[in-house]
Amino acid sequence: MNIPFHVPYTDDSDIEAAVSAIKSGWTTMGPKTIEFEKSFAQYTGMPFSVAVSSCTAALHLALKVCGIGSGSEVIVPANTFVATAEVVLYCGATPVFADVDRDTHCISVDSIYRLLSPKTRAIIPVHFAGTPSAMDAILDIAAQHNLYVIEDAAHALPSWYGGKLAGTLGHAGCYSFYATKTLATGEGGMLVTRNEDWAQRAGRLRLHGMNRDAWKRYDRGGSWRYDIEEMGYKYNMTDIAAAMGLSQLKKVEMLQKKREAIASKYNDAFAASDALIPYSIKEGISAWHLYPLKINPEALTISRDEFIMKLEERGIKTSVHFIPLYRFSYFMNKYGNQEKYFQNCEWIFAREISLPIFPSMTDEQVDYVIESVLAIAQQFKR
């Protein structure tokens, strides 16, 4: 059996929505994008949503609108995709890497406390795999030290913490609609906030700092005149992606339930082996964007990398989330070798394997993954 790491979930309604947008004549940002923003704001309960080309763009704009710039420090988890730190550098600020929790892989609250400095201006908690970070503690730290909290909710639609949607607890939340996400438009993202001024500025910055969107200029009654109020970026969403987003938003909770059911099967199956460490969350409800199994190297005669190769031989594609940021040559050249400061990140990195978890997985595929993982663990048990 051959099982890919991920298969995007699309149905006829998504295809029809994209085709309808193309036929409408608005293939770039237009009325569908505005409709998607309104629907997303309604779903999240946030008053303002700004549709953009990626979660990376959303994070960058969030930092820009809250004034992060040269001389500022922003605390980010070291175990995340590089975009979380890159956007800090885009602003001329300094990303400060925090260690993570061994169980959830989310940012460590203790590590945040240790890293606070007079230059700290913001924290970017990442809801890893859909698991909400410890937001109560993080928000308390932010309130005590007058810091912004920008939630990287790329994995977390829909995830809930304390009855609230992840991404809606901080000063701004940033979502991803990349092909592997629960709501997938191929590429795309969304910035949500309660701050109207931030939303309006982000809306300008996403399209070159222009004060009139293209559809407003070229639609009936529009004018060709516009002004550039500040230098911006090419971060706008397209109506094709927005049309797919509107269609997928109607199914997002159904898709989360499908992922959750797979994760539950994995957890039940792997809990019986002392060579495996299932991934379970401490609180809240996860979107289960990923299923990060960890192996117990003390109970096995093979390494994590060899375990991945054995799964590959059985036709099962996997991944690793993530290579810690400080291990990349760019950051090593910039900040030096920091591995010794991140005991939990290193512990996770030596053990983590992301297994396939996508809504269209069949029971037979899930069972095959489980059987294969258990067979390899048994074959190479010490």
Cα distance between residue 117 and residue 54, in whole Å: 30
Contact 55, 82 (CB under 8 A): no
pLDDT for position 215 = 56
pLDDT for position 279 = 97
Closest CA to 278 of 298, 299, 292, 262: 292
Lowest mean pLDDT among 48-57, 129-138, 216-225: 216-225
Q: Answer whether residue 24 shows pLDDT above 90.
A: yes
For the chain, helix (H) and strand (E) counts, in that order, are 14, 12
**C-alpha of 65 from chain center:** 20
Cα distance between residue 379 and residue 79, in whole Å: 30
Q: How confident is the model at residue 221 (pLDDT cuts 50, 70, 90)?
A: low
Which amino acid belongs to residue 11? D
Closest CA to 279 of 108, 148, 19, 105: 105
Number of Cβ within 10 Å of residue 21's Cβ equals 23
Mean pLDDT (whole number) for 322-341: 97
226 class by beta-carbon count within 10 Å (0-12 exposed, 13-18 middle, 19+ buried) = middle
pLDDT for position 211 = 82
Q: Answer whether residue 318 shows pLDDT above 80.
A: yes
Cα distance between residue 42 and residue 150, in whole Å: 20
Residues 142-188: tens digit of each pLDDT: 999 999 999 999 999 999 999 999 999 999 999 999 999 999 999 99
Catalytic residues: 181
Percent of the chain with pLDDT over 90: 93
What letters, b where the CB count within 10 A reaches 16 and e where it falls short, cover 54-92?
A: bbbbbbbbbbbbbebeeebbbbbbbbbbebbbbbbebbe
pLDDT for position 224 = 74
Residue with tokens 């997938």: 184
Percent of the chain with pLDDT over 70: 97
pLDDT for position 226 = 84
Residues 87-134: tens digit of each pLDDT: 999 999 999 999 999 999 999 999 999 999 999 999 999 999 999 999
pLDDT for position 223 = 72
Contact 88, 74 (CB under 8 A): yes
Mean pLDDT (whole number) for 342-349: 98
pLDDT for position 218 = 56
pLDDT for position 16 = 98
Cα distance between residue 268 and residue 260, in whole Å: 12
Residue with tokens 């396939």: 356
Mean pLDDT (whole number) for 255-262: 98
Q: Which domains does the chain have, with CATH numbers?
A: 12-252 (3.40.640.10), 253-379 (3.90.1150.10)
- State the DSSP string of 313-341: HTTB--B-S---GGGSHHHHHHH---GGG
Q: Answer whether residue 217 shows pLDDT above 60.
A: no
Q: Answer whether residue 209 shows pLDDT above 90.
A: yes
ω into residue 158 within 30 of 0, thus cis? Answer: yes
Residues in the chain: 382
pLDDT for position 303 = 98
Mean pLDDT (whole number) for 27-53: 97
pLDDT for position 225 = 82
For 130, the token pair is: 């859909």
For 213, the token pair is: 């969107």
